[in-house]
Structure 1
Amino acid sequence: MIRQAKKTDAPKIAPLLLIIWKDMELPILEMESEEAITNALIEAIQTETYRYSYRHLHVYEKDGDIAGVLAGYPGKLEPKIDDVWDDIAKKHGITFKEPIFEDNETFAGEWYLDLIVASEKYRGYGVGTALLNKLTEIAAKDGEKVVGLNCDKGNPNAKRLYERIGFHVTGEVVLNGHKYDHMQK
């Protein structure tokens, strides 16, 4: 079952988000403990406005487990999407001062898929595809018709999946030193 995340899902969602942060090789991971970052993410998920607020998350629930999660929001929110992070991070002893996400990720006029991840236990069972197939419905609830995402150029399997469900390349972006294809549907 795919549903909107709840605040109470935060402890199960935070470790999944951390998988993506590790894949992105974010500098904060070299300077702060995984425990502090996870605890800060748990609190941030429970806010109303953060990039990974429960309001911006949808989960694939299976047998009481969070099998996968997607995070996304209208691109127009990007300028303020991380404003609450600094105060939350400080409360958890995080001293990393740089913005975690420095680069603009969204294109104008789109609902932006920030991340999608399946729990290792559920990989290969269609969790990601099921979540992706809900994107246009989720975006429509936020008043958007176009869905955008960034696909790591080093991940051709993901690109093929996105193309199979109707995405096409509309540009290129560099995020944290990595090249990505910007794709839209």
Structure 2
Amino acid sequence: MIRQAKPEDAAQVAPLLFTIWKDMELPIVEAENEETILKALRDAITVRDYRYGYNHLHVYESEGVIAGVVAGYPGEKEGSIDKAWRGIAEQNGLIFLDPVFTETETFPGEWYLDSIVTDERFRGKGIGTALLNALPDIAKREGEAVIGLSCDKANLKAKQLYERLGFRATSEVTLSGHLYDHMQKNI
């Protein structure tokens, strides 16, 4: 079942999102202890309107377990979604007080898929595809007619999945030192 995330999902969702942070080789992963980051991320999920606040998350739940999660928001919100980070970081004793993400990821007029991840125990069962197929309804509810995402150029399997679902590369962006295809899909 796919549903809007709730603050009480934070303990299950934080490790999934942290998987992406490690894959992206974000500077915070090198600067901080993993458990401290996870604690801050759990707290961040409970903060409405933060990049990974529960209202920007949808989860795939299977028998009480969060098997996958998507994070996304209308691109126009990108300028404000990280403002809560400093307070969250200070509250958790992090030295990394700057926003975790500094590059512009979204393009005007799109609902942006910030992150998608499936718990490794559930991979290969269609959960990621189900989450992606739910995006048009989510984006429409938020008033958008285009979905955008960034796909690491080195992740050919993901790019093939996105293309199969109707996404097309529109440009290239660099995020945390990695080259990505920015892809969009009209809905």
Q: TM-score, normalised by structure 1?
A: 0.99
1:172 aligns with 2:159: no
Give the Cα–Cα distance (whole angstroms) in 1 for the partners of residues 84 and 101 of structure 2. Answer: 13
Cα distance per residue 1:113-166 (max 9 Å; x no partner): 000000010000000000000111000010101000000000000000000000
Give the Cα–Cα distance (whole angstroms) in 2 for the partners of residues 172 and 124 of structure 1. Answer: 28
Give the Cα–Cα distance (whole angstroms) in 2 for the partners of residues 99 and 70 of structure 1. Answer: 20
Give the Cα–Cα distance (whole angstroms) in 1 for the partners of residues 98 and 25 of structure 2. Answer: 14
Query: What residue is the counterpart of 2:125 in the other structure?
Result: 125
Q: CA 1:13 to 1:72, structure 2 compared with 1: closer, same or farther past 3 Å?
A: same
Query: What residue is the counterpart of 2:160 in the other structure?
Result: 160
Cα distance per residue 1:56-113 (max 9 Å; x no partner): 0000000110000000000000001100011111110101134311100000100000
Query: Which amino acid in 1 is paired with 2:108?
Result: A
RMSD over equivalenced CA pairs, Å: 0.6
Percent identical among aligned pairs is: 61
Runs of 4+ in 1 over 6 A off after TM superposition: none
Q: Could you say what secondary structure the match of 2:117 adopts?
A: strand
Give the Cα–Cα distance (whole angstroms) in 1 for the partners of residues 96 and 3 of structure 2. Answer: 33
Give the Cα–Cα distance (whole angstroms) in 1 for the partners of residues 136 and 172 of structure 2. Answer: 22
**Unpaired segments of 5 or more residues in structure 1?**
none
Answer whether contact 2:7 2:45 (CA < 8 A) is retained: yes
Q: TM-score, normalised by structure 2?
A: 0.98
**Unpaired segments of 5 or more residues in structure 2?**
none
Answer whether contact 2:85 2:99 (CA < 8 A) is retained: no
